Each structure stands twice: as structure tokens, then as C-alpha cells.
Amino acid sequence: MFKIVEKRKLAENIYEMKVAAERVARAALPGQFVIVRVNEGGERVPLTIADYDVEAGTVTIVTQTIGLSTRKICALEVGDSLADFAGPLGRPSEFVHMPVEELRKMKYLFVAGGVGTAPVYPQVKWLKEHGVECDVIIGAKSSNMLIYIDEMSKVGNVHIATDDGTQGYKGLVTGLMTELVEGEGRKYDECVAIGPMIMMKFITLTTKPWGLKTTVSLNALMVDGTGMCGACRVSVGGKTLFTCVDGPEFDGHQVDFDEAIRRQSMYRNQERTAKENYEHNCKCYGE
């Protein structure tokens, strides 16, 4: 069992939890994920690692209550335990294997959308610790949905975009990217984008004319997390790869996003039915 030692609400239906998982914390690297189960009969839920503390032996996850399983995770409180917390899984971010001297010559632009801000944080933090400067765009529909602003500001140069203009740039993250690159003349060696699938698609369309290498994380496609179920198949450069074992990060310019978006919606009906049944049973038994 893996005890929850800290919990806080980041925004509506978005929660951060620190979980006691010493061995996972020791082995974790930016870009990797864990598989979480609430109980023995629970669904396997892949969640990207939002932070890790080797000394404290904790791993941080950020969860949004989208379906039944994430709702059950977010309902847990400090002192409660998760049945499973397996990881770290997946390939770490490419830059962790680069020579430090080469890495320090690089300039990164990170673009984070919604809950995707959480897995961006350990990457920017790791780069900061290794002397690499990063610009970070954090986007959300409105200011009340922005997360990790304070944390990110300590490790990167933060720029904010909200659809409704309640904070920072008014408009989509792609508009703010264009302003930085074309308006201000900023130069980057690589763009890393993590967020909604449609956001990542249009980021790659924006960066392609600039010839800017763009890495995207397709963690939202994963189900089983081991490559056995095949649900996370994705076409990259005309080849079929598995997000959980070959990724979750890929060259965004090579990803077939239209196929990935279709695959992402495959289980929505089943998830909706499971949620409705759960809510019905809770009402019937007074839970």
C-alpha cells in the first residue's frame, strides 16, 4: 500500500497528491509515468510524474476528475493509501541523456496546457538544476484553471495565456508562441508541448514552418501502461508505436494526430456508463 502524505486542490476538479513511494522516487526521471490503482479491483490509471523527492521518498501526481477511476483517486485523503503505485515507466525525456556541456547551449520553449502543466514542471526543474534556461508558456481556458504558476516561476521564465484574457495573453498558446518567436524574435532549439491532444496538434502545425524541433507527450492515450493491451497505438513517421513503452514522448511533426484523437475517444461511452452506474449505486446505498 502507498500512503498519501499530502494533498491539495490546485483548481476545480484538479488535485495534487504526494505519495510515499521511496523506490519509485529514487528511480524517477522527467517524462516518465506511474500506474496507479485505488484498490485491488480498480482500473489501472497511468499518471505522469509531476515531481519526485528522493530524500523524502515521495512522488507527486496531479489528477483531474474526468472519469470514474480518477474521481475515486481524487476522493482519497491524507492517510489513505493506493493499492498500487508502479513505476517509473516509459522512456524519460531525451535531454536527460545529453552531455551537460551540449545541453547548456540549448534554449527550450515548453508549452503546457491545463493539467499538462504538472508533467512539464519536473522537466523544467531538472533543466534548471543543470544550468539550462527555459521559457514556459502555461495556457488554460481561464485564470481559475491555471496551475503550478508559482512553482514554475522558480525554475523557468513563465508566460501565461488564457482563452478569455483573465490573466496574461488573451488567446491560444499558439498565438503567444507566435508573438515570442515572430514578434520578439526569440530563438529556440526545441519546443516541448504537453496538454490536450488538439493543442499539441496545432502547436506542431505552428512550429513546423519555423523548422523548430517539437516534442509532444501522448500520455493521455495510455490504458494498460505495459504495451499488452494495444490501446495506446500511435502512428509516428508511418510506423506503429506504443505510447507506454516507446514513449510517452515523440517527435510531434511525425505524429498522426488525427488518428490519435480518434483513438482517445474510443472508450468514452464505457467510461460514461461506469460513472453513471457508480453515481446510481452511491445514491441507492446512501454513500
Task: Return the higher-pLDDT residue of 244 and 226.
Answer: 244
23 & 81 share domain: yes
% of the chain surpassing 70 pLDDT: 87
pLDDT of residue 270: 47
- Under the banding of pLDDT at 50, 70 and 90, the label for residue 12 is very high
Domain end, chosen from 217, 237, 269, is at: 217
Residue 268 has pLDDT above 90, yes or no: no
The predicted model gives 253-257 an average pLDDT of 92
Please tell me the distance from the alpha carbon of residue 34 to that of residue 49, in angstroms, as a whole number: 7
Assess if residue 50 is contained within a domain: yes
CATH number of the domain at 31, please: 2.40.30.10
Predicted model pTM: 0.86
Residue 40, pLDDT score: 84
Say yes or no: 116 and 171 in one domain.
Answer: yes
Are 14 and 74 within one domain? yes
Q: Please, is 175 exposed, middle or buried when counting C-beta atoms within 10 Å of its C-beta (0-12, 13-18, 19+)? A: middle
**Please, which pLDDT band fits residue 285 given cuts at 50, 70 and 90?**
very low
CA atoms within a 13 Å half-sphere pointing along the CA-CB vector of 165: 1
Model pLDDT, residue 229: 65
DSSP conformation letters of the chain? -EEEEEEEEEETTEEEEEEE-HHHHHH--TT-EEEEESSTTSPPEEEEEEEEETTTTEEEEEEE--SHHHHHHHH--TT-EESEEEEEESPPPGGGGS-HHHHTT--EEEEEEGGGHHHHHHHHHHHHHTT--EEEEEEESSGGG--SHHHHHTTSEEEEEETTSSSSEES-HHHHHHIIIIIS----SEEEEES-HHHHHHHHHHHGGGT-EEEEE-GGG-SSSSSSS-TTEEEETTEEEEHHHH-SEEEGGGB-HHHHHHHHTTTHHHHHHHHHHHHHHHHHTT-
pLDDT tens digit sequence for 170-207:
999 999 999 999 999 999 999 999 999 999 999 999 99
Residues 6 or more apart in contact with residue 269 via CB below 8 angstroms? none
In 102-118, which positions are buried (b, 16+ CB within 10 angstroms) versus exposed (e)?
A: ebeeeebbbbbbbbbbb
Are 98 and 85 in the same domain? Answer: no
Q: With 80 as the cut, is the pLDDT of residue 282 above it?
A: no
What pLDDT does residue 85 have?
Answer: 93
In this prediction, what percent of the chain has a pLDDT beyond 90? 71
User: Which residues form the domain of 182?
Assistant: 94-217
Q: At which residue does the C-alpha cell 449505486 appear? A: 281
32-85 pLDDT, tens digit per residue, is 999 999 988 888 888 889 999 999 999 999 999 888 888 999 999 999 999 999
Does residue 101 share a domain with residue 122?
Answer: yes
Say if residue 65 is in the same domain as residue 99: no
Residue 287 maps to a domain: no
Which of residues 89, 119, 154 is at a domain's end? 89
- Order of strands across the sheet with 190-194? 169-170, 157-162, 134-140, 108-113, 190-194, 213-217, 249-251
Q: Write the pLDDT tens digit of every residue in 106-161.
A: 999 999 999 999 999 999 999 999 999 899 999 999 999 999 999 999 999 999 99
Considering the domain boundaries, does residue 166 fall inside one? yes
Q: Which of 42, 64, 89 is the last residue of a domain?
A: 89
Q: Are residues 66 and 18 in the same domain?
A: yes
Any domain includes 285: no
Q: Which residues pair with 182 in a beta bridge?
A: none
Query: How much is the pLDDT for 280?
Result: 41
Question: How many domains does the chain contain in total?
Answer: 2
Higher-scoring residue by pLDDT: 152, 221: 152
- Could you tell me if 134 and 70 lie in one domain? no
Burial environment of residue 146 by CB neighbours within 10 A (0 to 12, 13 to 18, 19 or more): buried
For residue 264, being part of any structural domain is answered with no
Answer yes or no: is 21 within a domain: yes
Residue 178: inside a domain, yes or no?
Answer: yes
pLDDT at 1: 86
Q: Residue 196's domain is classified under what CATH number?
A: 3.40.50.80
Do 98 and 213 fall within a single domain? yes
Tell me whether residue 141 is in a domain: yes
